[in-house]
């Protein structure tokens, strides 16, 4: 066991349930293909880390992904409660620094995650901001339940509201570099992830011809 833990939240890759905003433009099959590729990127980034990992799936454990890692199903009524429960389990089991990421970032790398863990040596909370106003990474060196309670999930002011509350409470917070996730067709075609993946481009093209 390491003193640091990386938690990955993964949506089960099921047609019609992933990247729903993107699916409005490129269809359910297109969104399915995009999310499948993004999960592969996340799996590669985390495989390079020399710390313990726990993979939390949205509905059911998938044996073929993240082999030889701890796996569970997310537990809670909303995203905040699901994340809080995962952090609670990690701290209860003795981890000192815990970082949680999602699985839909085309530019995520092991360096971003390592940087988050490193910043937890000097901060109680760490965020990796997303360009849409949310965050792609959250790290804690001790359990701060307020981060997960009564927050505007999926809204453009999520990080701003959270940071304001932490500032008022005097909780020391670190910030990583900003990354863009892929929620819309505009996000997709502007990304290097898409531009450098001709196979994915071809699949999307065929599905929408």
Q: Tens of pLDDT along 6-50?
A: 999 998 888 878 888 888 888 888 888 899 999 999 999 999 899
Q: What's the pLDDT score for residue 185?
A: 85
CA angle 15, 19, 23 (to 5 degrees): 75
More confident residue, 155 or 110: 110
Q: Tell me the sheet residues that pair with 62.
A: none
Predicted TM-score of the model (pTM)? 0.92
Q: What's the pLDDT score for residue 131?
A: 87
Q: What's the pLDDT score for residue 83?
A: 97
Cα–Cα distance list, 24 to 21, 87, 100, 185, 197 (Å): 6, 33, 28, 9, 21
Please say whether the beta carbons of 73 and 44 come within 8 A: no
Task: Report the domain count for the chain.
Answer: 1
CATH number at residue 159: 3.90.550.10
Instruction: State the average pLDDT over residues 188-198.
Output: 89
* Averaged confidence pLDDT in the chain: 92
Answer whether residue 152 shows pLDDT above 80. yes
Cα–Cα distance list, 156 to 22, 25, 131, 138, 193 (Å): 17, 21, 9, 16, 23
Helix ranges (DSSP H) in the chain: 20-47, 79-92, 110-119, 158-168, 185-190, 192-195, 198-208
Angular region, 71: left φ>0, alpha ψ -120 to 50, beta rest: beta
Please say whether the beta carbons of 127 and 178 come within 8 A: no
Q: Which structural domain range is residue 182 located in?
A: 4-208
Task: Select from 102, 169, 168, 165 the least CA-distant residue to 134.
Answer: 102
Strand 135-140 with 125-129, pairing: antiparallel
Please say whether the beta carbons of 137 and 176 come within 8 A: yes
* 92 exposure class (CB count in 10 Å sphere: 0-12, 13-18, 19+): exposed
Q: What is the pLDDT of residues 59-118, one digit of tens each?
A: 999 888 888 899 999 999 999 999 999 999 999 999 999 999 998 899 999 999 999 999
């Amino acid at each position: 066991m390491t003193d640091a833990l990386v938690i990955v939240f993964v949506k089960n890759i099921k047609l019609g349930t992933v990247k729903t905003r993107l699916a409005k433009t490129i269809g359910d099959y297109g969104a399915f293909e995009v999310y499948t590729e993004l999960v592969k990127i996340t799996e590669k980034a985390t495989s390079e880390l020399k710390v313990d990992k726990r993979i939390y799936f949205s509905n059911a454990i998938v044996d073929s992904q993240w082999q030889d890692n701890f796996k569970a199903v997310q537990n809670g009524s909303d995203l905040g409660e699901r994340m809080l429960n995962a952090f609670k389990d990690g701290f209860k089991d003795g981890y000192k620094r815990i970082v949680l990421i999602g699985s839909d970032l085309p530019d995520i790398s092991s360096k971003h995650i390592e940087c988050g863990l490193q910043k937890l040596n000097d901060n109680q909370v760490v965020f990796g901001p997303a360009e849409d106003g949310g965050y792609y990474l959250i790290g804690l060196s001790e359990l701060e339940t307020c981060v997960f309670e009564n927050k505007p999930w999926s809204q453009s002011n999520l990080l701003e509201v959270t940071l304001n509350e932490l500032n008022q409470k005097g909780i020391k917070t670190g910030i990583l570099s900003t990354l863009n996730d892929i929620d819309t067709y505009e996000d997709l075609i502007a990304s290097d992830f898409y531009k450098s993946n001709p196979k994915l481009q071809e699949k999307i093209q065929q599905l929408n011809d």
